[in-house]
Each structure stands twice: as C-alpha cells, then as structure tokens.
Amino acid sequence: MGRWRYERGLEDIGNGCFAYLQPAGTWGLSNAGLVTSDGEALLVDTLFDLKRTREMLDAMRAATPAAARIGTVVNTHANGDHCYGNALVEGATIIATRAGAAEMDEVPAPMLAMLMRQARSGAAGALGEYLVHCFGAFDFDGIAPTPPTRVFDGELTVAVGGKEVRLIEVGPSHTKGDLLVHIPADRVIYTGDVLFIDVTPIMWAGPVGNWLKACDILLAADADVIVPGHGSITDRAGVRAVRDYLVYIRDEARRRYDAGMPPVDAARDIALNDYASWGDAERIVVNVHTLYREFSGGQLALPGPIELFGLMAELARRPR
C-alpha cells in the first residue's frame, strides 16, 4: 500500500493504533502493533530479542503516553520473533490461544542460543551458515521464557479503554495456535504470521484449509488497514496474494504427490512464477513437506526442524 511507509520503526496508522515494522520481513524481522484508548494500551507481539524489543518499546513510549504502561500483550503465535521479548513488558497480562501457549515450550530462547553458538563455531557446515544467515542478527542470550498468563480457545474480546479488541483463533495454520487481532471501531487487523507480504509464507503446522479460511476471514472483515506479521502494511489485495500462493502451492504439490514424486523433488520442481521475487523462496521445502503429510492423512511424518532447515539451506544454494 503506497499510503504507508515501509521503514524500520513505528508507523502511526490512526485512531491510537500503531504498527512497528522491521523491513525486509525476512527471518526474525517481524512486525508488532500497539492499540491505545483512554490512556490504556495493548501490545500485539514482542520481538525476537531483548535489544530490539527495548528499542520498540522506547519508540512507542516516545509516541504516546499510553505506552508508558502496557496492560496487555497479545502473542499472535508461538514463534520466538513474536514472543521472546515478553519479559520486558512487566506486569502485563499476556494472552495467547491455548494451543499457541503450549507450543511456546517447544523452542525456548536458551535452546536457540545454544544452537546459534554451534552454528557460529563452523561445526555445522552449510546448515550452520544458513542458520547464521537467518538468525545471526539476533542475540538470544539472557532471554527469560515468559509464557502467557491467560489463554483462550475460539474467540475472546478484551477492552482497551473504550475500544473493543477481538481476538480470533485461526490455527492451526502457520503454527498450532495462530490468532488475529481485530479492532472493529478502527477498521484495523493485526494478523501475526497469517500474512507475509512479499515474503514467502511458511507452513509449520497446517492444514492448508485452515490458513485459507483465515484469509477468507480477513477478506470478509470490515478493515481498511491490515498489519501482517512480516512485510509492509497491506489491504485485501495483500491477503488475496497470500491466499493465491497457498492455493497454487497446494495444487502443484498435490499433482506431484499423486504422481509419487518425493517431497524434496517436488519442492525443487515447482515453478514459483509470480512468487519467485518473494523473499525466502526456499521455504517451499517446508510447505511441500507439510502438505504431503496432510495429503497422506498423517502417514508421512514431517522432518524435524533441523532437517527442514538443512533442506532449505540446500535449496537456497541451488539456482531455480
């Protein structure tokens, strides 16, 4: 959307709502949001490390007095780039879906800190180089796991001053517990990683049908401003682009699954066409494996995260 800048920092999107943006939206460079009303504030997601989260909170406090004390944090899902900074919002109620909260235990920050030390040592070879490419800009040391203090299933409405904020569970899709944050009065939605704009989506969980339903919810919503988890502020056109990508990859993967092609070969074989310019195109490896698992009714196991990152590292080095 030409209406909004896509520069690092805080963007005032009107009526007491803000977006914190981190171009170019690649690995770990996530967006966050702030909703304010009558001196109260709700934060949509924290960032991947403490330094970046502090910088974001400082920018928010400089922009509006309401951010001096944030009463509520909403984690849109369990990936660390949306929740590792939780400890810096002292005293806040931290809300997530029940499934999202449970998933936060799977990759705590100390585990990622240890993995990155190994990657930087050079012992992990090409995989280590790729991990440094993805996560080398972040410092995971000293991050205390700070889980949600309130969980929900389905939908939850909370008040921020005089504003109603609707939390809508749409996972499992990108992860096991994704949610949307809708502020009806302001016609604003924060999507978490249901949306990646000009960056390749990654389907850790699926099923793809749930993700498509989440896109349909966004398309049907009365919203003018849509803040994605990664990439620039968008509108319904951005939602349609993500939806079209998911349909295209699903259909192309299905044809290759039915033909008996292994998932790694299918990921290499699928032409990206209009999506080739999107960042992190190698994520198609994860998407195809997740789709194959779905097509098989769960009979095909999804490789572990380290193996998947290794496959992405390999594909990233290969010309397409």
Span 262-287, pLDDT tens digits: 999 999 999 999 999 999 999 999 99
- Whether the predicted pLDDT of 6 surpasses 60: yes
Both tokens of 273, joined, read 């066409």
**Strands (DSSP E) found in the chain:** 9-14, 17-21, 32-37, 40-44, 72-74, 93-97, 150-152, 155-160, 163-169, 179-183, 188-190, 225-227
Between CA 313 and CA 63 the distance in angstroms is: 40
Residue of 61, 79, 67, 15 whose CA lies nearest to 42:
67
CB 81 within 8 A of CB 28: yes
Query: What number is the average pLDDT over the span 293-310?
Result: 96
pLDDT tens profile 115-131 = 999 999 988 899 999 99
Three-state SS for 103-129 is HCCCCCHHHHHHHHHHHHHCCCHHHHH
pLDDT tens profile 207-259 = 999 999 999 999 999 999 999 999 999 999 999 999 999 999 999 999 999 99
CB 142 within 8 A of CB 181: no
- Whether the predicted pLDDT of 47 surpasses 70: yes
pTM higher than 0.85: yes
CB 175 within 8 A of CB 104: no
- Whether the predicted pLDDT of 144 surpasses 60: yes
Say what the pLDDT of residue 101 is: 98
For residue 320, what are the CA distances in angstroms to 25, 314, 315? 22, 12, 9
Query: What number is the average pLDDT over the span 155-166?
Result: 98
Say what the pLDDT of residue 318 is: 75
- Residue 150's contacts (CB-CB under 8 Å, 6 or more residues apart) are 93, 94, 95, 96
Both tokens of 268, joined, read 């290499």
pLDDT tens profile 86-117 = 999 999 999 999 999 999 999 999 999 999 99
* Torsion over CA: 46, 50, 54, 56 (sign): negative
* Crossing angle of helices 208-220 and 284-295, rounded to 10°: 110
Say what the pLDDT of residue 9 is: 98
Both tokens of 317, joined, read 């080095």
CB 67 within 8 A of CB 34: yes
Question: Residue 90 burial (CB < 10 Å; 0-12/13-18/19+)?
Answer: exposed
Strand order in the sheet with 155-160: 155-160, 163-169, 179-183, 188-190, 225-227
Between CA 317 and CA 314 the distance in angstroms is: 5
- Size of the chain in residues: 320
- Whether the predicted pLDDT of 320 surpasses 60: no
